[in-house]
Amino acid sequence: MRIIATAAAALVGAAGAVLAAVPSPLPLLRPPGAGEAAFFAARCVRCGRCLEACPYQAIHAAPLNAGREASTPFVNARSQACRLCAEFPCAAACPTGALTVPEERGGAAMGVAVINEDTCLSFQGMRCEVCYRACPLIDEAITIDYRPREGDAIHAVFAPQVIAEDCAGCGLCEQRCPVGEPAPAIIVVPTGADEVTYQALRNGAA
Ligand code: SF4
Ligand code: SF4
Ligand code: SF4
């Protein structure tokens, strides 16, 4: 088994090296404890140990057409978010220090969730709050802001609010949001990504 794993790691590493010159279109959501992009890129050897260690199959290897990111680990929050495991087995399995075990669940530092108020059901006056209830850091990373509805003396708006400094970026909110087109109404912007990336994501870019 070890021989097969070693051969597979060599193959993905070689594939990544061949494609290293092709830039990635958007920053990827990295597993917990990845830290800054340059730090991670310098240490990740694309061995796949974090993928194997995740009990929820939340980590995938970037496809070969992902340019220099090919075969590096990422989380697709919409299909399977990170559960913020208490012991972070993914980071603990990393042999190079590319992933370091966060001291607490809230310290995963994968990214920050951002709400699109134009598409969020709660901001349109409906009751939803799915993201709020899905958040493993409920009332820390997401709170509900109860406010009067504009032009309506009876009904209130139950608006979710992300507390950026307390959001781990796990993506459970994004996974569960009932809004789908062109994108979920709450999206995790990966650590280090910029406004351009967020605009692309909220417009439905993968
Ligand atoms: S914290 Fe748990 S669910 Fe999240 S990527 Fe690591 S092993 Fe998977
Ligand atoms: S789950 Fe989506 S639609 Fe519902 S409150 Fe959260 S962001 Fe808005
Ligand atoms: S990404 Fe969403 S679910 Fe995860 S900690 Fe942040 S607000 Fe909570």
> Per residue in 62-91, is it b (16+ CB within 10 Å) or e — as a string?
beeebbebbbbbbbbbbebbbebbeebbbb
**Count of domains forming the chain:** 1
Do residues 56 and 78 touch, judged by C-beta distance below 8 A? Answer: no
Q: How far is the CA of 103 from the centre of ligand 3 (A)?
A: 17
Give the ligand with the smallest distance to the CA of 94. 1
Q: How far is the CA of 49 from the centre of ligand 2 (A)?
A: 34
pLDDT along the chain (206 residues), means of 10: 39 38 67 94 97 98 90 96 97 98 96 95 94 98 89 84 97 97 94 84 77
Distance CA 94, CA 85 (A): 15
Q: Among candidates 11, 33, 5, which has minimal Cα distance to 170?
A: 33
Q: Which H or E element spans position 158? A: strand 156-162
CB-side neighbour CA atoms (13 Å) of 113: 35
Distance CA 188, CA 167 (A): 9
Do residues 173 and 135 touch, judged by C-beta distance below 8 A? Answer: yes
- Tokens 């990111």 locate to 69
142 Cβ below 6 A of ligand 2: no
Tokens coding 177: 């949001």
Q: Among candidates 135, 144, 128, 71, which has minimal Cα distance to 108?
A: 135
Residue 19: the pLDDT is: 37
Mutation choice for ligand 2 from 114, 177, 181, CB with most ligand atoms inside 8 A: 177
Q: How far is the CA of 58 from the centre of ligand 1 (A)?
A: 6
pTM for the predicted model, two decimal places: 0.86
Distance CA 146, CA 149 (A): 9
Q: Which domain holds residue 62?
A: 2-202
Q: Among candidates 87, 86, 65, 62, which has minimal Cα distance to 75?
A: 62
CATH number for the domain harbouring residue 48:
3.30.70.20
- Sorted by sequence, the CB contacts under 8 Å of residue 86 that are 6+ apart come out as 105
Q: How far is the CA of 166 from the centre of ligand 3 (A)?
A: 9
Q: Which atom of ligand 2 is nearest to the CA of 173?
A: 1
Beta bridge partner(s), residue 159: 145
